[in-house]
Amino acid sequence: MGTPKRETGKAKQKDAGQARETAAEPSALEANFIQNIINEDFKTNKYNGRVHTRFPPEPNGYLHIGHAKSICLNFGLAARNGGLCNLRFDDTNPAREEVEYVDSIKEDVRWLGFDWGDRMFYASDYFDRLYDFAVELIKKGKAYVCDLSAEEIKEYRGTLTEPGKESPYRNRSVEENLDLFERMKNGEFPDGKRVLRAKIDMSSPNLNMRDPVIYRILRATHHRTGDKWLIYPMYDYAHPVSDSLEGITHSICTLEFEDHRPLYDWFLDTLGIYRSQQIEFARLNLTYTVMSKRKLRMLVEEGIVSGWDDPRMPTISGLRRRGYTPEAIRDFCERIGVAKSNSIVDIAMLEHCIRDDLNLRVPRVMAVLRPLKLIIDNYPEGQVEELEAEYNPENPALGSRKLPFTRELYIEQEDFCENPPKKYFRLSPGQEVRLKNAYIIRCQGLVKDEKTGEVLEVHCSYDPETRSGSAASSRKVKGTLHWVSASHAVPAEVRLYEHLFLKENPDEEKDFKSCLNPDSLTRLTSCLLERSLAGAEPGSRFQFLRNGYFCVDTVDSTKSRLVFNRIVPLKDTWAKIQKANK
């Protein structure tokens, strides 16, 4: 895991597109090994000073925070080096619902702050050329049509310790191969009956080089090419050729593809076309999170979450709905850095990044999540005082609002205790606390439900001399509580989240769903907010004093029924870990 290079308050790269101009010091991303390769390529003039990257998502699911790392890396490197980055959909595997995924991917990349200009491509744009190149490989004696079944191909392939066996169809003549390949294209054979394979080396120590399949027969309607094609190229073949056709200089992918690099190079060298350079980096893994699209899709399809944008999902759309900002996600991607070996990043670091971003940016307001009525017996009935309160003392630019103070208030249930333990600095019989931005009060009694023992009301007196900001307000009390006025409070639902999984690494479990956290969502339906939050816009963010950072839900919230998501609580475990390590 990379060590964070920045601390709160240092110059931050707010505008990803302008990184070169605004970055005050090299960040983890800027000083990474890929940048070193690029610097070296500049020196040797390998690509005539060009840097051209691409982000190549497969439109078979929504993007997640791991993709964000790849997006920041690819677009970031291009921006920093005066280059370009393409968005390319790797749509070689026709599947249903792809259009929905394509749209969501475009939205997410844009939201993260990146721009592909007029360079949005699809691997399917190249199907004709990929076909022609395959014909060329056949003509060069470098590809053949094979009739072995999928199981047989697997069997013939050998293992890491045993060499493979050559297919009996390996030595078909060029003419026969050309004829069969064309007939594959024309639909003369059923699905899976024949494949086109590269003719490389069945005894190669690298399994990827043992005559890999490059085309298969598949009758499936493609979201862009419809029913035009009955054969589809395999990723390992389509990817290098697409990179080459787009003039990509640095083709950045995750470590699993390291063993595929010789094949990547083989296709381009054998075809004699422009050679892009594949560079591998470690994928992002996060604690308490699964990142594979297959697993995320299961959570969606089995209704374990409400959708791809469920605020508990590690998807970009889930994080966005939860209230994460693009700045926080980009900052996170910088801090984690780029490495050559896999590791798991503590999710607390992501949470640290959003706190760091929101700390100064958002208003701090009062919201009572689990209300308990508090009555100030010596406060005149019907009186309303409008108390001035700054939105964010650390950022005066956010201004202030008036807080209505009345005889009947609500405080948090957990801020009152009838029989307090030692060092309990909140409210208890006979004790004093300050109400934030208002007065010091003393608890004089309580009303309980006779049957259940539940505390229904807390009765207090207030000291009129102690209004916040007045001379006597400097009197010290140990606790300060947030509160809302009963007659002015705005009702709301608040959703609290915990990690979706109970285990740090759910992928290690036999069934990742066996460690789902049953308490990952808590819905509090009778919360009360201060008056200024009435009509809060979907997507707007706040700090609720003492309770964390919150965002108005963009799906379920309405003017008359506000719904908030908690982004993160205030307690920063990551900052604590960092401090302890110093």
Which positions are catalytic? Answer: 58, 283, 293
By beta-carbon proximity to ligand ATP, the closer residue of 278 and 520 is 278
Q: How far is the CB of 55 from ligand ATP (least distance, A)?
A: 6
H-state helical runs in 47-149: 65-80, 98-111, 127-139
Q: How far is the CB of 90 from ligand ATP (least distance, A)?
A: 6
60 binds Mg ion (CB under 5 A): no
Cα separation, 313 vs 518, whole angstroms: 15
Vertex 297 angle, CA 292 and 301, to 5°: 160
Query: With CB cut-offs between 5 and 8 Å by kind, which of ligand ATP, Mg ion, none does residue 70 bind?
Result: ligand ATP
Q: List strands edge to edge, sheet with 195-198.
A: 143-146, 195-198, 213-217, 231-233
Query: With CB cut-offs between 5 and 8 Å by kind, which of ligand ATP, Mg ion, none does residue 292 bind?
Result: ligand ATP
Give me the residue whose beta carbon is nearest to Mg ion.
58
By beta-carbon proximity to ligand ATP, the closer residue of 257 and 544 is 257
Q: How far is the CB of 127 from ligand ATP (least distance, A)?
A: 18
Site string for ligand ATP, 41-60 (x = CB under 6 A): ---------------xxx--
32 binds ligand ATP (CB under 6 A): no
Binding segment for ligand ATP (CB under 6 A), chosen from 3-11, 61-69, 141-149, 559-567, is 61-69
Interacting residues with Mg ion between 249 and 288 (CB under 5 A): none
* Contact residue for ligand ATP among 253, 376, 438, 568 (CB under 6 A): 253
Query: With CB cut-offs between 5 and 8 Å by kind, which of ligand ATP, Mg ion, none does residue 57 bind?
Result: ligand ATP
By beta-carbon proximity to ligand ATP, the closer residue of 333 and 496 is 333
Say if residues 417 and 383 touch (Cβ distance below 8 Å).
no
Q: Token digits for 535?
A: 């009509």
Interacting residues with ligand ATP between 256 and 285 (CB under 6 A): 283-284
Cα separation, 205 vs 391, whole angstroms: 65
66 binds ligand ATP (CB under 6 A): yes
234 binds ligand ATP (CB under 6 A): no
Q: How far is the CB of 56 from ligand ATP (least distance, A)?
A: 5
Interacting residues with ligand ATP between 465 and 524 (CB under 6 A): none
Decide: helix, strand or coil at residue 346.
coil
Q: How far is the CB of 105 from ligand ATP (least distance, A)?
A: 8
For residue 520, the number of C-alpha atoms closer than 13 Å in the C-beta half-sphere is 18
E-state strands within 498-547: 521-529, 541-544
E-state strands within 128-270: 143-146, 195-198, 213-217, 231-233, 250-254
300 binds ligand ATP (CB under 6 A): no
Say if residues 383 and 406 touch (Cβ distance below 8 Å).
yes
Query: With CB cut-offs between 5 and 8 Å by kind, which of Mg ion, ligand ATP, none does residue 56 bind?
Result: ligand ATP
Binding segment for Mg ion (CB under 5 A), chosen from 50-58, 104-112, 393-401, 463-471, is 50-58
58 binds Mg ion (CB under 5 A): yes
- Residue 484 pairs in a beta bridge with 410
Cα separation, 253 vs 280, whole angstroms: 5
Cα separation, 182 vs 255, whole angstroms: 35
Cα separation, 163 vs 159, whole angstroms: 7
Give me the residue whose beta carbon is nearest to ligand ATP.
66
Annotate 250-285 with b (16+ C-beta within 10 A) or e (fewer). bbbbeeebeebbebbebbbebbeeebbbbbbbbbbb
Q: How far is the CB of 275 from Mg ion (least distance, A)?
A: 22
* Contact residue for ligand ATP among 29, 51, 184, 291 (CB under 6 A): 291
Say if residues 225 and 198 touch (Cβ distance below 8 Å).
no
User: Would you tell me which residues interact with ligand ATP (CB under 6 A)?
Assistant: 56-58, 66-67, 69-70, 90, 253-254, 283-284, 291-293
